[in-house]
């Protein structure tokens, strides 16, 4: 960008000269410009593609790199810097990702409720005692005599090596590995490791909420957004019939993800936990609610012994309790707090409003938070699978 700007300025000066000076003066400016440009091009630094033994050994002790792993239909990625680590794996059956904020000792997971984190005290110290994550640590380092076995190809500017049933090809720029490929095994056991950006890997750490620090975050609504709510606005939430609630929390490095979609005469609950996804549907048929679950090769709808009339009665009963009288507003955090009882134990519910509409809730028990975010109000859709009504009291798996 700076070079482009410099050329633009020179061009403007040259153009001005053509307008205000005679042709000989303009030619002088042009000659000077071309000489400067040529000199700059000739003195551009040439990239060194060869390495020393010290640089070769230092490559595998680096704590900054990216690795992409391929093994048949399976794969993964590891990105490492001094401040963050990303580990992703996809086996077909299991897809998972771990994001580590090293400096703040947090394990992160992306959920439908946003990026959530689990704080692990002592994580940085433990990594420090290990000397950090290096290529050598994860087993991708050749033996100490490997430098002597490297073969440099002048045409491709690459080093190649073969050792212990493996082969590798490496490209260097000024002593740093820009790209390397290590192939291990053959046939169905073949694995390929692509190493890149040694010393230049960058990881952007997203904004996240820590779920086990025992404290809730303040509202992130702009200053001009009203975060209080009236009794009328609170009661109006009972009329909502179309919305999505996305929820999530963290259990160590595992993100627990859930969503509840409600739309017209159907609802869908989905939960992802321990790398497994589960779904359940609810349908309103002829004024009665049915739970729809997989059964055999299809779906079976079982009477939930609940009707729309009963739901309406429950809503009317709840209406008298939809009052700010039961909520405590926190001026600093710009949220409401409600103490609730759950199986004889007390927990806290925090509610966040923006211009009269609830946008977020936090359920905290024993210092652990479940984050709930309201989304797609008025636009949520639910597609029910084809199902049969269960007319007999059979067990549904």
Indicate the burial class of 117 (C-beta count within 10 angstroms; 0-12, 13-18, 19 or more): buried
How many residues does the structure list for the chain? 397
Cβ atoms 20, 1 nearer than 8 A: no
Q: What is the DSSP letter of 188?
A: G
Q: Give alpha helix (H) positions in the chain.
A: 2-20, 23-42, 53-59, 123-130, 231-236, 308-319
List residues bridging with 283 in a β-sheet: 266, 290
Percent of the chain, pLDDT > 70?
A: 85
Cβ atoms 287, 309 nearer than 8 A: yes
- The pLDDT of residue 336 is 95
Q: Give alpha helix (H) positions in 160-230.
A: none
- The pLDDT of residue 282 is 93
Question: Over 60: is that where the pLDDT of 33 sits?
Answer: no
- The pLDDT of residue 31 is 44
Instruction: Please state, in angstroms and rounded to a whole number, the distance separating the CA atoms of residues 396 and 27.
Output: 90
**Long-range Cβ pairs for the range 122-125 (8 Å, 24+):** none
Cβ atoms 237, 230 nearer than 8 A: no
Q: What is the DSSP letter of 186?
A: -
- The pLDDT of residue 32 is 52
Over the stretch 306-334, which tens digit does the pLDDT of each residue have? Answer: 888 888 888 888 787 788 898 999 999 99
- The pLDDT of residue 384 is 92
Residue 358 token pair: 């609830």
Residue 142 token pair: 């050749």
Over the stretch 267-312, which tens digit does the pLDDT of each residue have? Answer: 999 998 866 788 899 999 888 899 998 888 889 999 888 888 888 8
The model's pTM is 0.74
Instruction: Please state, in angstroms and rounded to a whole number, the distance separating the CA atoms of residues 8 and 19.
Output: 17
CA distances from 358 to 60, 221, 240, 243, 312 (A): 52, 12, 11, 12, 21
List residues bridging with 180 in a β-sheet: 170, 195
- Mean pLDDT, the chain, as a whole number? 82
Give the H or E element holding residue 163.
strand 158-163
Over the stretch 83-137, which tens digit does the pLDDT of each residue have? Answer: 999 988 887 777 777 899 998 999 998 888 999 999 998 888 888 777 778 888 8
3-state secondary structure of 177: strand
Phi, psi of 148 (to 5 degrees): -65, -20
Cα-Cα-Cα-Cα dihedral sign, residues 312, 315, 320, 322: negative
- Other beta carbons less than 10 A from residue 367's beta carbon: 10
Cβ atoms 210, 118 nearer than 8 A: yes
| pLDDT band, residue 346 (cuts 50/70/90) | confident
User: Helices 23-42 and 2-20 meet at what angle, rounded to 10?
Assistant: 160
């Amino acid at each position: 960008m700076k070079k482009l700007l410099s050329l633009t300025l020179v061009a403007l000066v040259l153009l001005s000269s053509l307008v205000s000076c005679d042709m000989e003066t303009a030619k002088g400016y042009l000659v000077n410009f071309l000489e400067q440009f040529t000199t700059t091009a000739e003195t551009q630094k040439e990239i060194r593609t060869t390495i020393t033994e010290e640089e070769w050994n230092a490559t595998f002790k680096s704590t900054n790199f990216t690795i992409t792993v391929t093994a048949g239909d399976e794969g993964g990625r590891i990105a490492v810097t001094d401040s963050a680590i990303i580990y992703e794996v996809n086996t077909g059956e299991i897809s998972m990702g771990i994001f580590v904020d090293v400096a703040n000792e947090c394990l992160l997971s992306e959920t439908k409720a946003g990026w959530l984190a689990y704080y692990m005290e002592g994580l940085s110290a433990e990594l420090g005692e290990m000397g950090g994550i290096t290529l050598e640590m994860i087993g991708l380092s050749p033996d100490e005599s490997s430098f002597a076995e490297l073969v440099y190809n002048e045409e491709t500017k690459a080093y190649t090596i073969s050792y212990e049933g493996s082969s590798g090809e490496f490209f260097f720029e000024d002593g740093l590995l820009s790209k390397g490929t290590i192939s291990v095994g053959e046939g169905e056991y073949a694995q390929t490791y692509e190493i890149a950006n040694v010393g230049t890997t960058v990881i952007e750490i997203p904004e996240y909420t820590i779920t086990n620090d025992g404290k809730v975050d303040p509202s992130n609504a702009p200053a001009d957004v009203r975060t209080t709510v009236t009794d009328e606005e609170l009661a109006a939430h009972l009329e909502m019939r179309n919305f999505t609630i996305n929820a999530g929390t963290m259990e160590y490095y595992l993100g627990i993800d859930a969503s509840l979609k409600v739309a017209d005469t159907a609802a869908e609950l989905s939960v992802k936990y321990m790398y497994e996804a589960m779904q359940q549907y609810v349908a309103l048929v002829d004024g009665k609610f049915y739970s729809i679950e997989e059964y055999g090769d299809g779906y079976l709808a079982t009477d939930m012994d609940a009707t729309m009339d009963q739901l309406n009665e429950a809503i009317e009963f709840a209406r008298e309790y939809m009052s700010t009288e039961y909520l405590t507003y926190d001026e600093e955090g710009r949220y409401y707090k409600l103490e609730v009882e759950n199986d004889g134990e007390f927990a806290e519910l925090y509610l966040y409003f923006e211009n009269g509409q609830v946008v977020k809730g936090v359920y905290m028990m024993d210092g652990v938070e479940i984050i709930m975010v309201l989304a797609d109000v008025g636009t949520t859709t639910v597609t029910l699978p084809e199902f049969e009504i269960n007319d007999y009291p059979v067990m549904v798996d």
